[in-house]
């Protein structure tokens, strides 16, 4: 049996940092495992913690905007790693998700989470005279948008579940390490 704990889940900027500590025996077992197995175990554990956030964020997104679209688009995935040894799980809108009319929550999810400052909306195409065309109301060359307030759904989902995230990560790691240690033990004849 392995003995370790998830000693902290903290945030650094937009990221969460998970610190995992273990006994000497567990640390030796992890060190002896092939990098591939280690990455798989830790990746699975981080994914288990991320799913806790995903589930809560979906409930919060449903209560905020476009019931169903934003929450349906929320996905847990591993982006391509940029630094060696870095394991990342992202919880956010799936870049490939499309609503029934082609809506793409990835284009506006951050605007809901963080809000927008007041700004001017100008024509997108050079030479175009309309920034906004509202049938039956009129065409506007420039629109002064008042901005929108932040309606966060991801950050509160993380903050409200730190203890459960730690628990899920620890449980997943324990299962994975125990499974790998059982595989590596010599079988009695």
Count the domains in the chain. 1
Is 102 a domain residue?
no
Domain-embedded: residue 136: no
Q: Per the domain annotation, does 121 fall within a domain?
A: no
Residue 37 lies in a domain: yes
- pLDDT tens track for 84-102: 667 888 899 998 999 888 8
Q: Of 37, 26, 18, which Cα lies nearest the Cα of 169? A: 18
| Listed residue (87, 81, 92, 7) closest to 40, CA to CA | 87
pLDDT of residue 111: 92
Contact 4, 175 (CB under 8 A): no
**Residue 134: inside a domain:** no
Q: What CA–CA distance (Å, rounded) separates 161 from 80? A: 26
Give residue-wise pLDDT tens across range 144-182. Answer: 999 999 999 999 999 999 999 999 999 998 898 888 888
In sign, the C-alpha dihedral spanning 106, 111, 60, 161 is: positive
Rg (CA), the chain: 23
**Which structural domain range is residue 164 located in?**
4-97+152-184
pTM of the model as a whole: 0.74
Q: How far apart are CA 46 and CA 169, in angstroms?
A: 6
Q: Per the domain annotation, does 16 fall within a domain? A: yes
Residue 111 lies in a domain: no
Give Cβ neighbours of residue 149 (< 8 Å, ≥ 6 apart). Answer: 115
Is residue 90 in a domain? yes
């Amino acid at each position: 049996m392995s003995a370790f704990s998830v000693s902290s889940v903290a945030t650094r900027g937009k990221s969460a940092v998970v610190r995992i500590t273990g006994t000497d025996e567990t640390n030796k077992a992890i060190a002896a495992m092939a990098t591939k197995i280690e990455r798989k175990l830790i990746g699975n554990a981080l994914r288990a913690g991320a799913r806790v956030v995903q589930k809560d964020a979906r409930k919060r997104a449903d209560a905020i905007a476009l019931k169903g679209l934003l929450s349906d688009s929320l996905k847990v995935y591993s982006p391509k790693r940029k630094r060696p040894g870095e394991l990342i799980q992202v919880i956010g809108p799936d870049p490939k998700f499309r609503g029934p009319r082609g809506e793409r929550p990835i284009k506006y999810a951050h605007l809901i989470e963080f809000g927008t400052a007041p700004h001017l909306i100008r024509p997108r195409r050079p030479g175009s005279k309309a920034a906004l065309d509202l049938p039956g109301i009129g065409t506007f060359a420039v629109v002064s948008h008042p901005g929108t307030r932040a309606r966060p759904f991801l950050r509160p989902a993380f903050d409200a579940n730190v203890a459960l995230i730690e628990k899920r990560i620890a449980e997943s790691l324990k299962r994975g390490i125990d499974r790998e240690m059982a595989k590596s033990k010599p079988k009695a004849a």
